[in-house]
Amino acid sequence: MKYCFLAFLFIVLSCTQRKNGSVDTSQQAIQKVIVMQPLGSFKIEQSQKVFAAIKTINPKVVLRPNIPFPENSYYKPRNRYRADSIIKSLKNNIGKDSVIVGLSNSDISTTKNEIKDWGVMGLGYKPGKACVVSDFRLSVTNKNQQFYKLVLHELGHTAGLPHCKIKTCLMRDAEGGNPLDQEKSFCKDCKSFLKNKGWQLI
């Protein structure tokens, strides 16, 4: 009888352990596939550079060939493209486990409070499946580095991150300026948020 009881106890324990183990694996987040979509005449050399940089934090990244800007996104009065129309169109071009980032050399804009057409460096759903970035407002000297930071910022929004108060964090609000050179990396909290979403950040 005593043996029976011990054997029973052992079985219960081993089941519990296996259960705990399987819970851990199912909670392990898997990062979405990042689809990079150059728009219009976006320079191929530039998209390859940012593609290689993104690959270091997510090997599941795809660089698509250039496509024209969505037809309804052109805003003639200011000769620029509506970021909100672009992301609305892009989000329909990917699978459910992907997130897409549009790359633009042209200026992009959105509506901000009372301002109907406000120029921006980037725009992304929070959380969401699509974002768009433009290098038009970036400094000429270190454009590639700033552009990479900008892509990470918008992808951070799509992963669900809001703006961050820490001045050196990549999720800082640009507030109409360009603070990218002061931004160093994701802060501790933003980093751990993204790591929980499967981002391979060091």
Residues that bind Zn ion (CB under 5 A): 164, 166, 169, 171, 187, 190
CA distance linking residue 133 with residue 195, whole number of Å? 23
**Residue whose CB is less far from Zn ion, 63 or 109:** 109
**Residue whose CB is less far from Zn ion, 61 or 194:** 194
Shortest separation between residue 26's beta carbon and Zn ion, angstroms:
28
Q: Which of these, 142, 99, 148, lies nearest to 121 by C-alpha position? A: 148
Preceding amide of 77 cis, omega within 30:
no
Alpha-carbon 144 to chain mean position = 17
Shortest separation between residue 75's beta carbon and Zn ion, angstroms:
20
- Three-state DSSP class for 119? strand
Residue number of the CB closest to Zn ion reads: 164
**Residue whose CB is less far from Zn ion, 95 or 162:** 162
Contacts of 16 (CB under 8 A, 6+ apart): none
Shortest separation between residue 115's beta carbon and Zn ion, angstroms:
16
Shortest separation between residue 160's beta carbon and Zn ion, angstroms:
12
